Amino acid sequence: MARMTMIQSIRSAMDVAMGRDENVVVFGEDVGFFGGVFRCTQGLQEKYGSQRCFDAPISETGIIGAAVGMAVYGIRPCVEIQFADYVYPGFDQIASEAARIRYRSNNDFTVPMVVRMPTGGGIFGGQTHSQSPEALFAHISGIKTVIPSNPYDAKGLLIASIEDEDPVMFLEPKRLYNGPFDGHHDRPVTPWSKHELGEVPEDHYTVPLGKAAVRREGADVTMLVYGTMVYVAEAAAEETGIDAEIIDLRTLLPLDMETIEESVKKTGRCVIVHEATRTCGYGAELAAIVAENCFYHLEAPVIRVTGYDTPYPHAHEWDYFPGPKRVGDALKKVMEAA
């Protein structure tokens, strides 16, 4: 075991995957010699050569389109989009192509590829370096959408994604790269070295896609969260003293519906938190699933705490970010309901 940041564990995942399977290739903007703007691919080119880890032109259409073609060929591309905000030029290749090639060819062609991208705010990235587009991906049938919340999961989920036979969108909450973040932006940063989930095996292991993790067991209310919001939820539960059960979804699609339903049926209350905008956000799907499957167990309306339906503002980052105060208020509200 070693102490790793999420950057190091993601790098270790690619290193392990490339070491085990020569079909794994890594490319994207600045990922080659330099090792990526967040350094996630640092050293991979040196270790595996420039044919397996290389710089790409600034063209998300090209990066993702090339990855689709390569995956169809039979190799396993794991490409980096520099920021999730930049993925849109490649969207057609994801939504119309990668997602449907298995289906439309009746299994004749398949696309085992991973598209990694840093997501979310909290780093003063403004509206073009802070977006959380996960709901856009989760809406598309034929792809999987994964969002880890800690170094251990990030490595295990990324290896599982690279080994998966279907296309995976792998969103990395960039505010978590160097440490857990509970939304108290005015407090000192906690490094991963001080967190138990910063303990990461150096060798191969996987965390299965489609399985949520219960981060905190509780009896009063179920909190459905992923990525950075796991730590905000933990802080809110602690600060309000409400006995919340915190479920880290880890994979948005396929979704671990059983764990969610079991928990909500037990607690009778549900608060959903995400950083992405609210309208048609992933929380809407979660709320609908809870309503459809747990309605007669509910003792209060389901509440969403989310980013507002505005672009991510630069100066007002912390007013926009759903921090522990807003989440705590939602917990209190849901507990006060009859």
Shortest Cβ 253–another protein spacing (Å): 7
Shortest Cβ 2–another protein spacing (Å): 30
According to the binding rule CB under 8 A, does residue 259 interact with another protein? Answer: no
Q: Pick the binder of another protein from 108, 186, 196, 336 (CB under 8 A).
A: 108
Shortest Cβ 288–another protein spacing (Å): 12
According to the binding rule CB under 8 A, does residue 313 interact with another protein? Answer: no
The long-range contacts involving 188-194, CB below 8 angstroms and separated by at least 24 positions, are 191/5, 192/3, 192/4, 192/5, 192/6, 192/150, 192/151, 193/3, 193/5
According to the binding rule CB under 8 A, does residue 211 interact with another protein? Answer: no
- Helix orientation angle between 282-294 and 257-267, rounded to the nearest 10 degrees: 60
Q: Which residue has the tokens 């989760």?
A: 138
Residue type for position 333:
K
State the binding string over 153-172 for another protein (x if CB under 8 A, else -): ------------xx------
Site for another protein, residues 2 to 31, rule: CB under 8 A: 23, 25
Shortest Cβ 96–another protein spacing (Å): 4
With b for 16 or more beta-carbon neighbours within 10 A and e for fewer, the 235-258 pattern comes to: bbbeebebebbbbbbbbbbebbee
According to the binding rule CB under 8 A, does residue 102 interact with another protein? Answer: yes
According to the binding rule CB under 8 A, does residue 92 interact with another protein? Answer: yes
Nearer to another protein, 106 or 296 (CB): 106
Site for another protein, residues 36 to 55, rule: CB under 8 A: 51-52
Stretch that binds another protein, among 101-109, 127-135, 146-154, 270-278 (CB under 8 A): 101-109
Is residue 214 within 8 A of residue 249, CB to CB? The reply is: no
Query: Residue 155: which residues within 8 A CB-CB, separation 6 or more?
Result: 4, 9, 10, 12, 13, 16, 200, 201, 205, 207
Element (H, E) at 155: helix 151-163
Distance CA 338, CA 334 (A): 9
Q: Is 181 left (phi over 0), alpha (psi -120 to 50) or beta?
A: beta
According to the binding rule CB under 8 A, does residue 69 interact with another protein? Answer: yes
Stretch that binds another protein, among 252-260, 270-278, 311-319, 326-334 (CB under 8 A): 252-260
According to the binding rule CB under 8 A, does residue 218 interact with another protein? Answer: no
> From the centroid of its chain, how far is CA 191?
19
Q: Pick the binder of another protein from 122, 142, 151, 281 (CB under 8 A).
A: 142
Element (H, E) at 273: strand 270-277
Is residue 218 within 8 A of residue 245, CB to CB? The reply is: yes
Size of the site for another protein (CB under 8 A): 46
Binding site for another protein (CB under 8 A): 23, 25, 51-52, 56-57, 59, 61-62, 65-70, 72-75, 89, 92-93, 96-97, 100-110, 141-142, 144, 165-166, 210, 253-255, 257-258
